[in-house]
Amino acid sequence: MTERVVLAYSGGLDTSVAIGWIGEATGAEVVAVAVDVGQGGEDLETIRQRALDCGAVEAYVADARDEFAAEYCMPALQANALYMDAYPLVSALSRPVIVKHLVAAAHRFGATTVAHGCTGKGNDQVRFEVGIQTLGPELKCIAPVRDLALTRDKAISYAEKHDLPIATTKKNPFSIDQNVWGRAVETGFLEDIWNGPTKDVYDYTDDPAFPPAPDEVVVRFERGIPVALDGQDVTPLQAIQEMNRRAGAQGIGRIDIVEDRLVGIKSREIYEAPGAMALIAAHRELENVTVEREQARFKRGVDQRWTELVYDGQWFSPLKRSLDAFVQDTQRHVEGEIRMTLHAGNATVTGRRSATSLYDFNLATYDEGDTFDQSQARGFIELFGMSSKVASARDQRLEGGTR
């Protein structure tokens, strides 16, 4: 029986050429698997047919948009996931859901190997292969660009020689990855980190220097998940899509960062994540209202470690699973509404209300109705500063030569 390889298929030039390239290099049949995580562009049936026309023996497409939004983006929102305090894990979040469908397809179609289109210097090769090894330890992995010497020039020549149904004449200067949670752009002139991004870099956001009128939105959360916008119930996918539209129109969510890659190099990345950044801003503020102080302080460290694990391709790891349990527990009372003004690149919180709020007006007010007993403050300060006071007295005694 001829061996089969499941290929993560995007419908673009490189993965279209990879179908025949893998067959010639390995003698295996190729099953193309396309996973829709909200990247837009062509419809799934068009992509499926192209894979078959390029030589795939089977082509499977999965509409994973709702799954991706609910099971991957929402946990990231609950963890306020921003790698290096800036990047909302646009690509990193999509890889485990794609891996899940690749491994399922390998089992379904009897494949022994899974292939992806990553290079040898990026993060995604790690995310794909660690995930595949975890969910399908019996499967092998190959990367045509990395392992089978499939360069861009060779891909164009191969497509033209074999008359493949894919455009080869125009070379985009950028490497782009996008989904409903955001868009990532790199390479080209952006590799010179002194160069500023030009307007053609952006697609999800309009120029914040020329914004429309301010847009006020009220986001309602239940257990840290957005469930309504301006009183209209929404699914996680709908919440992201609508906030992408409204925040994107205001130029919110543009990120320009020199990033520490997992493989040990720094790279310059441009991201657009209007919906993600606006929702994270709202979620963080609702946590400020509803999460107890010590729990919130500890959660910030957990959030950072959770983010690093996902960035590093450890979505299916035991530690990440344990951190999930902690984050979920902290969200029990993250309920209520946040009002924000979206304008000129900023998502500014202007109002909060929650039935589970820890904000007590009578304790916080300086006006009539104040129930805070200020007479207790002096004793609290004495006890709170006691250890520092005793240590300071010792240090001054020793510095003065008295023992």
Question: Which residues are tagged catalytic?
Answer: 14, 95, 124, 175
- Picking from 152, 80, 147, 85, the residue whose alpha carbon sits closest to that of residue 115 is 147
Strand 266-272 relative to strand 254-260, pairing: antiparallel
Where is the binding site, in residues? 8-16, 87, 117, 119, 123-124, 127, 175, 259, 271
For the CA atoms of 280, 75, 181, 116, what is the dihedral angle to 10 degrees? 150
Distances (CA, A) of 139 to 106, 135, 261, 272, 285: 8, 9, 26, 34, 44
Residues 100 and 324: beta-carbon distance below 8 Å: no
- Picking from 301, 304, 238, the residue whose alpha carbon sits closest to that of residue 275 is 238
**Radius of gyration over every alpha carbon of the chain, rounded to an integer in angstroms:** 26
**Which residues, 6 or more positions from 222, have their beta carbon under 8 angstroms from its beta carbon?**
335
Where is the binding site for L-aspartate, in residues? 119, 123-124
Quote the CA–CA distance of 131 and 120 in Å, as a whole number: 17
Residues 125 and 119: beta-carbon distance below 8 Å: yes
Q: How many helices (H) and strands (E) does the chain have?
A: 15, 14
Where is the binding site for L-citrulline, in residues? 87, 123, 127, 175, 259, 271
Quote the CA–CA distance of 67 and 54 in Å, as a whole number: 29
